[in-house]
Structure 1
Amino acid sequence: MDPFSHIPIRVLLVDSRQIVLWGLEKLINSESPRMETVGKASNGTDARRLARESQPNIVLLDLELGGERGVDLIPDLLKMGNFHIIVFTEIHDPTTIDVAIFNGARGVVYKEEPTPTILKAIQKVHDGELWLDRRTTGRVFINFLRTGQKLPVDPVAGKITALTRKERVIVNAFANEAGASNKKIAHTLGISEQTLRNHLTSIFSKLEITNRFDLFMFAKLHHHQFSVTGTRTESPASRL
């Protein structure tokens, strides 16, 4: 059995109202083992601390945190780890929503939407997609073009983009053969163990990891972003 097939999506909840946090926690945990709540915060200070300590995959963030503005919290949170932020709000003001996206949020869910929508948004954003309606998407991209700003950089996507095509093939091999030895993976890829070790040194550096287990985890959690071009009949060795 693949040891990484049931890794849950780790969700941090940030909302100023305890009743909302309680309801969201029940909802997320009801999806176990697909999802789990790893923390709850009702203010910016606790949100920063929990984001750093729990290293979630998704932060579900309210934009109204008492006297704090959730949109201003987004850049600080994103410095705490490699995760995505989904805005969870009652605010429909386009300017506020646009600022949240400019600051790095990957999705917007309104509190009046049905609970299946919340779960679907978490899954889709975790899979690397944006969760924005067409009107918001169009408005945001037009504003980016007008102001000359760059789109927010996804830190995980940035690391993956740094990999060469050969390195992506190797990462895929580790994801598909969890627990296999370097010798076995090198044989599968049709390369020498020394060549594989050389590639792994570069991969570890680019992904900011230190060992094979971390590589398995990274590859499994972000497998959707490790596409390798080529025909289906193409062998791993031919891609190297």
Structure 2
Amino acid sequence: MTSPDDRIRVMVADDQPIVLRGFAAVLGAQPDLTVVGTAPDGARAVRLARETRPDVALLDIRMPEMDGIEAARRILETETTRVIMITTFDLDDYVYDALSAGASGFLLKDVRANDLADAVRTVARGDALLAPKVTGRLIAEFARQRRPAPAGSPLTPRETEVLRLVARGLSNAEIAADLVVTEHTVKTHVARLLAKLGLRDRTQAVIHAYESGLVVPRI
């Protein structure tokens, strides 16, 4: 059984009481997760995140007082919390802004209970949470906005190679097979490149790779 100290700490913010209570109930029922608080708007979500320091915050995009994207920006300025954005509709206009704000993933409110809990676990361990159709739109947007990669990258040639494979959506195991190295070696490379680039997780690594022009989208 997971001890209280080992559980993933989760916060939920949504202005719809049914969604707020439902998500909190689903996540709170998981043996390895604990809900440290809920908030009905973006402003209170920011305050709650600073008070409770959750590992993962689920933020509705459309909330009163302050929208979820602005709340995410403020939470991610000072906290180690990772953010998942949630919304009723799969809205193109918000996907790029949410992830560029620092969010680690994007979920619809009709997500199944098991998938919701798995999404929290995925983001908590630093893995990417991007559905294929969302990734496709992001790549298209990055292709439109990309700029030349800055000179003097702090990455080694192998770390750059690993970053390119991460941006293609490969898992650590797949990267290990591609490079003929151990999975532990890949994890080390990923951890180092994230630290060197000041990135939070794999989702942000994907964004950096496309936005900087390191990876050229095939569209």
Q: Same fold (TM over 0.5)?
A: yes
**Which residue does 2:176 correspond to in 1?**
none
Asked whether the 8 Å contact 1:61–1:87 carries over to 2, the reply is yes
Secondary structure of 1:38's match?
strand
Please, which runs of 5 or more residues in structure 1 have no aligned partner? 151-160, 162-223, 230-240
Query: What count of residue pairs does the alignment treat as equivalent?
Result: 155
Quickly say closer, same or farther: Cα 1:225–1:118, change in 2 above 3 A: farther
Question: Once the 2 structures are TM-superposed, how far is the Cα of residue 19 of structure 1 from its aligned partner?
Answer: 2.2
CA contact (8 A) 1:38 1:56 kept: yes
| Aligned residue among 56, 74, 78 for 1:80 | 78
The structure 1 residue matched to 2:114, chosen from 93, 113, 116, is 116
- Partners of 1:56 and 1:104 in 2: CA distance: 16
The 2-side partners of 1:127 and 1:56 are apart by 13
Task: Report the alpha carbon displacement of residue 4 of structure 1 after superposing the two structures with TM.
Answer: 7.7
Larger radius of gyration: 1
Change (3 A) 1:35 1:54: same
Cα distance change of structure 1 residues 53 and 68 upon mapping to structure 2, 3 Å threshold: closer
Choose which of 34, 40, 46 in structure 2 pairs with 1:48: 46
2:158 paired residue number: none
Change in CA separation of 1:225 and 1:136 when aligned onto 2, cut-off 3 Å: farther
> 1:17 corresponds to which letter in structure 2?
Q
- Name the counterpart of 2:91: 93
SS in 2 for 1:65: coil
Find the counterpart in structure 1 of residue 129 from structure 2: 131
Q: Which residue of 2 aligns with 1:140?
A: 138
Paired AA for residue 93 in structure 1:
L
- C-alpha separation in 1, matches of 2:102 and 2:14: 18
Give 1:18 deviation, angstroms.
2.1
Aligned 8 A contact 2:43 2:65 in 1: no
Q: Structure 1's 5 and 72: CA in aligned 2 closer, same or farther, altered over 3 A?
A: closer
- Per-residue deviation, residues 43-81 of structure 1 (Å, max 9, x unmatched): 122111111111110001111113542222221111231
SS in 1 for 2:9: strand
Q: Is the 8 A contact 2:46 2:74 kept in 1?
A: yes
- 1:25 corresponding residue in structure 2: 24
Q: Measure how far apart 1:114 and its partner are.
A: 1.2
CA distance in 1, matches of 2:54, 2:30: 16
Consecutive unaligned residues in structure 2, runs of 5 or more: 149-154, 156-183, 190-219
Amino acid at match of 2:9: R
Shift of 1:6: 6.1
How far off its partner does 1:228 sit? 4.1
Between the aligned partners of 2:131 and 2:93, the Cα distance in structure 1 is 15
Q: Name the amino acid aligned to 1:144.
A: F
Please tell me whether the aligned partners of residues 48 and 80 of structure 1 are also in contact (alpha carbons under 8 angstroms): no
In the other structure, the counterpart of 1:7 is: 6
- The change in CA–CA distance for 1:225 and 1:106 in structure 2 (over 3 A counts) is farther
- TM-score w.r.t. length of structure 2: 0.63
Q: Percent identity?
A: 27
Shift of the 41–228 alpha-carbon distance from structure 1 to 2, 3 Å rule, reads: same
